[in-house]
């Protein structure tokens, strides 16, 4: 009896196990969703495929936008309405530059502009579309971008450039997006800073700190190109600078307009104490709360006497070298714009020399001008950090005074 019973159960168990195994295999086979996600199977719908190609193209799009200098052809560009390149303009001018974007897509740098994206074993060609109205002040052609300035508090983004992308291999679908200006300003690290030059060695002078504050400072002067955009937003077409050669140059406007320009973008005209903070290299960058706040004479050498400016004060016949002029463009230097060798410890340009620069000063209001500039001989005593003059900004004032903005961001 017992043997008989064993014989009848075993086949049943085997049958159940076999059924379960087959079912498991089938179920494993029919669970493709996880695999789809990991292997990134080509989507069946064109919409999904388009979306994925656009997403994959973002690094290339950003490279073209943020590193326009790298795409700038050696033989120059063929887009005279957008760019009239002069040799004295450094290529960093073309970073996050909407005119370079326009030039690239209207075949000003290469005959068939497209970004090649390899995905799912196929090469897709992502292109920008001329979907936006012409800006009469620039050219009669349709634009490959539109200026954006926020009109409501819906987005944190103050301004940017709207573009529309398409994929040649997937017709009929478009994606709009805003490219932000990531090239304009740079962060001021949180630490204790000194302002100006104390009268005596023992005097620590005015010190302050920006702990808990997120300050971002324009790297370069505000240009005519940027000012033009502001004029267009304000409907002041007649004031748009028509000379393309002047677009990379510093915007030279009254102090009232400088303040208006900065506040239009939620920014402020640069303050003297923040200028000093950006220009004066800390003795120990790793220690944000040092006991003594040093005031270096120049951004690249603490002691002025060891620099060409110090030597020029002793020797009136000093011959400027190209390196001197890269550090601080003073009288006698060849004029250059968007040169990058004058950069300070935190990414700020033109701390000495170049243009006179307008500043707000709430500590000593009459000291509102960085006078050190290409207008003064290298031996001038104004070529020293912490030395400021006064600018009254009258209509008759012939002094070409540049400016830049800063912003305190709170999220």
Of 91, 127, 129, 189, which one interacts with other proteins (CB under 8 A)?
A: 189
127 binds other proteins (CB under 8 A): no
Q: Which stretch binds other proteins (CB under 8 A): 179-187, 242-250, 305-313, 392-400?
A: 179-187
Measured distance CA(73)–CA(287) in Å, rounded: 43
Measured distance CA(170)–CA(278) in Å, rounded: 48
Residue closer to other proteins, measured from CB, 5 or 133: 133
181 binds other proteins (CB under 8 A): yes
Site for other proteins in 311-330 (CB under 8 A): none
389 binds other proteins (CB under 8 A): no
Q: Tokens standing for 397?
A: 């004032």
Measured distance CA(331)–CA(333) in Å, rounded: 6
99 binds other proteins (CB under 8 A): no
Which spans in 235-307 are helix H? 255-264, 272-279
Of 171, 290, 365, 400, which one interacts with other proteins (CB under 8 A)?
A: 365
Residue closer to other proteins, measured from CB, 55 or 234: 55
Of 99, 184, 336, 349, which one interacts with other proteins (CB under 8 A)?
A: 184
Q: Are 386 and 295 in contact (CB under 8 A)?
A: yes
Site for other proteins in 6-25 (CB under 8 A): 23
114: left (phi over 0), alpha (psi -120 to 50) or beta: beta
Residue closer to other proteins, measured from CB, 187 or 321: 187
Q: Tokens standing for 222?
A: 């505000």
Q: How many degrees, rounded to 5, is the angle at CA 385 between CA 267 and CA 303?
A: 145
198 binds other proteins (CB under 8 A): no
266 binds other proteins (CB under 8 A): yes
Q: Are 261 and 158 in contact (CB under 8 A)?
A: no
- Size (the chain), residues: 411
211 binds other proteins (CB under 8 A): yes
Mask of contacts with other proteins, 327-346, x by CB under 8 A? -------------------x
91 binds other proteins (CB under 8 A): no
Residue closer to other proteins, measured from CB, 29 or 112: 29
Q: Which stretch binds other proteins (CB under 8 A): 120-128, 167-175, 226-234, 371-379?
A: 167-175
CB atoms within 10 A of CB 58: 13
Q: Nearest approach, Cβ of 127 to other proteins (angstroms)?
A: 16
- Using CB under 8 A as the binding criterion, the count of chain residues that bind other proteins stands at 72
Of 125, 150, 245, 387, which one interacts with other proteins (CB under 8 A)?
A: 150
Q: Which stretch binds other proteins (CB under 8 A): 99-107, 135-143, 177-185, 297-305?
A: 177-185
387 binds other proteins (CB under 8 A): no
Site for other proteins in 102-121 (CB under 8 A): none
CB atoms within 10 A of CB 207: 13
Measured distance CA(220)–CA(272) in Å, rounded: 16
DSSP states along 364-406: STT--EE--STTS-TT-TT-STT--B-----TT-----B--EE
268 binds other proteins (CB under 8 A): yes
Residue closer to other proteins, measured from CB, 365 or 400: 365
CA-closest candidate to residue 357, choices 278, 251, 286: 251
Q: Please state whether beta strands 122-128 and 159-167 pair in parallel, antiparallel, or not at all (unpaired).
A: antiparallel
Mask of contacts with other proteins, 35-74, x by CB under 8 A? ----------x-xx-xx---x--x--xx---x--------
Of 252, 360, 370, 380, which one interacts with other proteins (CB under 8 A)?
A: 360
DSSP states along 171-206: EEEEEEEEE--TTSEEEE-SSEEEES--SSSS---E
Q: Are 154 and 245 in contact (CB under 8 A)?
A: no
């Amino acid at each position: 009896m017992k043997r008989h019973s064993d014989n009848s159960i075993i086949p049943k168990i085997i049958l159940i196990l076999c059924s379960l195994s087959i079912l498991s295999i089938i179920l494993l086979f029919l669970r493709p969703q996880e695999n789809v996600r990991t292997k990134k199977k080509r989507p069946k719908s064109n919409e999904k495929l388009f979306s994925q190609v656009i997403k994959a193209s973002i690094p290339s799009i950003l490279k073209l936008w943020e590193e326009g200098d790298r795409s700038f052809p050696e033989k120059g560009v063929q887009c005279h309405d957008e760019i009239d390149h002069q040799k004295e303009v450094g290529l960093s001018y073309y970073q996050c530059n909407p005119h370079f974007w326009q030039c690239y897509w209207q075949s000003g740098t290469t005959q068939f502009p497209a970004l090649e994206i390899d995905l799912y074993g196929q090469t897709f060609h992502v292109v920008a579309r001329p979907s936006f109205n012409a800006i009469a002040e620039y050219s009669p052609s349709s634009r490959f971008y539109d200026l954006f300035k926020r009109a409501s508090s819906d987005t944190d983004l103050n301004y940017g450039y709207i573009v529309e992308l398409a994929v040649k291999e997937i017709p009929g679908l478009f994606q709009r997006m805003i490219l932000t200006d990531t090239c304009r300003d740079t962060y001021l690290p949180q630490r204790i800073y000194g302002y100006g030059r104390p009268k005596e060695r023992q005097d620590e002078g005015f010190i302050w700190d920006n702990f808990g504050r997120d300050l971002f400072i324009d790297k370069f002067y505000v240009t005519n190109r940027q000012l033009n955009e502001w004029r267009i937003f304000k409907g002041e077409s007649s004031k748009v600078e028509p000379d393309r050669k002047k677009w990379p140059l510093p915007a030279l406007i009254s102090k009232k307009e400088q303040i208006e320009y900065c506040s239009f973008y939620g920014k402020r005209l640069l303050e003297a104490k923040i200028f000093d903070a950006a220009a004066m290299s800390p003795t120990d960058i790793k220690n944000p709360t040092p006991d003594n706040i040093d005031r270096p004479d120049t951004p690249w050498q603490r002691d002025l006497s060891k620099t060409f400016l110090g030597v020029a004060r002793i020797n009136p016949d000093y011959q400027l070298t190209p390196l001197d002029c890269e550090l601080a463009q003073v009288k006698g230097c060849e004029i250059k714009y968007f040169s990058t060798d004058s950069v300070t410890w935190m990414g700020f340009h033109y701390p000495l020399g170049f243009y006179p620069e307008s500043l707000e000063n709430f500590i000593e209001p009459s000291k509102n001008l960085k006078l050190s500039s290409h207008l003064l001989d290298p031996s001038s005593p104004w070529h020293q950090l912490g030395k400021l003059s006064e600018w009254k900004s009258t209509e008759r004032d012939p002094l070409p005074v540049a400016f830049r903005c800063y912003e305190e961001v709170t999220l």
